[in-house]
Structure 1
């Protein structure tokens, strides 16, 4: 699928979604938002997609919503909720998909762009990346599930700092905060992110989905609920063909089915 502002390709089990509006720093217009969520739905529902990669065209990931389409004072509360509802639904789909989601961030990840990165399972960024929860600058509250993900990713006080100060943090600080898993130089960013997505595409589909779903609920569940979830999930995982093949390979001294790609090809 190719859209003027969203590109979608499927190669080697990786569904690659590209925010493709570089002249506007990939600002999310209303039409672009719709195309983005359509691409997320397509990747989520396609069995041929084993991992999702999200990146931005040009030198920026996403500067957030398109201010040219914002309508101060033109929406009552009901209309405002209707306008933001698709964003929440789409972000939840990205957050809750049982497939691995890898995000590559260069340049700006502001507002909703920052929230999109927070919804990932693995984030690769450059040192020149800039993450900013800029909503209060515009008299708005975080969206795209940012109020759920941010404190869980960076912690309570750091979340307050980012939200209240609206300051931007660079790639190195985002790595320290836990918003970024790994830094890459700009020229290698997309290749490294794709390498990780390809590796994650070979993860055991059932077991990974069970782990990701359990982790999503772990912050709001007590130990008893999580222990029960573990036991139920393990019972399912024990029965999978992947587990059987992995054990057989281990016993035979064969290379494992899954291996993480070392940084720098090492």
Structure 2
């Protein structure tokens, strides 16, 4: 599936079981406009309706992931109520990205600044090129982090380190990002998109419902107590046990056949 048109600022492609969404504003380092957010939401809705899609890759074209919010759209001064309403309009976008019931992989090359860093951290995994750079640049502009960054960042690096990253607005290179746990792996050959798509393809034979329910349980684990977590586990496992994927896995095990879904190092 290919929904692209000439000079489109957002490219969408489905190859085999992996959907790829690419920001395509290279002259602006893929600055994230409100129109782009709406388009990403549109494609995420399409992905939700297609069970054959097992993973999503989010990337940016032209050597950069995303330089942040589109500052040209910030020139008009806003009142506090207007600014709040504008951000409330982005909350649906954040929840849709974080709660997508497929593994989401951000392929980050070049800069992931400000809202671009927030966007990258809505993914489950980040694969970075050696030249990737992350920065919570909001305080440089007299702003607070948005696109969910105040939620996602401390969960990855801890509260004290998250405060240091946000308060200083300093740049983090790929190596430090890997050491901090922001990044899952570095594509040493620089072909970060190919690495991310290959990672996504490894979920092709996984149970979509089981992946989605496991992701929901893990995403909510920091906010739920033990009793709520166990209740979620019980409901999810009941559904999973009745699935054809589980029944096929049991049959294969009893027949001494290899599982359909295996995570092998490639």
- TM-score grouping bracket, smaller chain normalisation: over 0.9
1:170 Cα deviation after fit: 0.9
- Is the partner of 2:202 in helix, strand or coil? helix
1:209 Cα deviation after fit: 1.0
Q: How does 1:31-110 map to 2 (within 5 A)?
A: 31-71=35-75, 74-110=77-113
Deviation track 1:29-66 (CA, whole Å, cap 9, x = no partner) reads 23222222222222223334221111110111001111
Distance 2:19 2:29 in 1: 22
- Is the partner of 2:220 in helix, strand or coil? helix
1:159 aligns with 2:174: no
Tell me, yes or no, if the aligned pair for 2:130 and 2:190 is still in contact at 8 Å.
no
Tell me, yes or no, if the aligned pair for 2:217 and 2:232 is still in contact at 8 Å.
yes
Higher share in helix: 1
Tell me, yes or no, if the aligned pair for 1:92 and 1:144 is still in contact at 8 Å.
no
Tell me, yes or no, if the aligned pair for 2:154 and 2:162 is still in contact at 8 Å.
yes
1:261 Cα deviation after fit: 5.1
1:186 Cα deviation after fit: 4.9
1:7 aligns with 2:11: yes
- Is the partner of 1:200 in helix, strand or coil? coil
Root mean square deviation, CA, Å: 1.6
Equivalent residue number for residue 199 of structure 1: 202
Structure 1 window deviating more from structure 2 (33-42 vs 98-107): it is 33-42
Tell me, yes or no, if the aligned pair for 1:128 and 1:171 is still in contact at 8 Å.
yes
1:257 aligns with 2:260: yes
Tell me, yes or no, if the aligned pair for 1:51 and 1:198 is still in contact at 8 Å.
yes
Tell me, yes or no, if the aligned pair for 1:14 and 1:53 is still in contact at 8 Å.
yes
Equivalent residue number for residue 208 of structure 1: 211
Q: Where in structure 1 are there 5+ consecutive unaligned residues?
A: none
1:237 aligns with 2:260: no
Tell me, yes or no, if the aligned pair for 2:129 and 2:191 is still in contact at 8 Å.
no
Aligned residues: 262
Distance 1:261 1:75 in 2: 52
1:178 aligns with 2:163: no
Q: Where in structure 2 are there 5+ consecutive unaligned residues?
A: none
1:224 aligns with 2:247: no
Deviation track 1:122-160 (CA, whole Å, cap 9, x = no partner) reads 211122211111111111111111111111111111110
Tell me, yes or no, if the aligned pair for 1:118 and 1:146 is still in contact at 8 Å.
yes
